[in-house]
Amino acid sequence: MPMFYYFDWSYVVLVLPALILAMYAQGKVSSTFNKYSRVPNHVGITGAEAARRIMEMNGIYDVSIERVSGNLTDHYDPSKKVLRLSDSVYSSTSIAAVGVAAHETGHAIQHARGYAPLSLRSLMVPLANIGSRLAMPLILLGIIFGFASSMGDSLIYLGIILFGLSVLFTIVTLPVEFNASKRAIACLEDSRILYEDEIGGAKKVLSAAAMTYVASTAVAVANMLRLIILFGGRRRND
């Protein structure tokens, strides 16, 4: 039988372009952050100080700020009301550090204001974790059982549904991240933490970071479509 009969066009057409976009996005955010991490802001304010000032501007006094190890591991934990800033952001006075700190503070503002997409994303975290852990094992088990019984189809479809939960989580994440960046830039402009000529650098850092979320969503959606193409017609073909 010809070799090209087994050519997986769905991977080449759907997944591969998304993976290339993800690699480009990761490289872009790293290079942009590194560039502006070498540029100190005129005020000399650190990432942690900027985060605290922005929260106080927005009447938020019950969120603590902690240092966390790693590179670009910054995040806001709504369950504990803790803003965690990485080593390269917490005590740095660079434009990049202030931009990232402001973005994470944007999530704290979202939480304080009851921003619906953030609340939805928080509710989806357990389901998304279950989906990402169990989807592929169930699909693999389904392939194995599929040779002997109809149980295989049920396991495959359940795996696809669970994978869909993790895909939905990445989609919901997009407006949350874009909105946090929008809030961050507005706060930096209103507070004059960064000078006008520095705002552009912060925008570039946050735009590059946003691209990684878009790329992650593209990869997730592409894989979901591939699973549907590969297994969607299984019962019908059988």
Question: DSSP labels for 181-235?
Answer: HHHHHHHHHHHTSS-HHHHHHHHHHHHHHHHHHHHHHHHHHHHHHHHHHHHTTHH
**For residue 211, is it left (φ>0), alpha (ψ between -120 and 50) or beta?**
alpha
- Dist CA 103 CA 85 (whole Å): 11
The residue whose two tokens read 């549904």 is 161
Host H or E run for residue 75: strand 75-77
- Mapped onto helix, strand or coil, the DSSP state of residue 108 is helix
To the query of whether residue 104 is one of the catalytic residues in this protein, the response is: yes
Of the listed 49, 66, 104, 189, which one is catalytic?
A: 104
Q: Nearest 5°: phi and psi at 228?
A: -65, -40
Give catalytic residue positions: 104
